[in-house]
Amino acid sequence: MKKITYLLLFIFLASSCTKNNDNIKEELEKALPTIQVTSMGLMLQTGPFVPADVLGVTFGGAITKAEPGSLDFAWYDAPNSGPATRIDSVHFDTFTEKATTANGNNSVTTSFYPATYPNTNYFSGNLVLKLTKLATGNKAYTLRIYVRTKEGDKMSSFAVTKFITMK
Q: Reduced to 3 states, what is the DSSP secondary structure of residue 14?
A: helix
Q: What average pLDDT does the chain have? A: 87
Give me the pLDDT at residue 116, please: 85
Rounded-to-integer distance, Cα 55 and Cα 43, Å:
8
For the stretch 113-143, pLDDT in tens is 999 888 899 999 999 999 999 999 999 999 9
Residue 7 phi, psi dihedral angles, 5° rounding: -65, -45
| Residue 147: count of CB within 10 angstroms of its CB | 26
Closest-CA residue to 33 (of 126, 127, 149, 146) = 149
Question: For 101, which DSSP code?
Answer: G
pLDDT in tens, 59-94: 999 999 999 999 999 999 988 888 999 999 999 999
What pLDDT score does 44 carry? 82
Question: Could you give the CA distance from residue 131 to residue 119 in angstroms, rounded to a whole number?
Answer: 37
Rg of the chain in Å (alpha carbons): 22
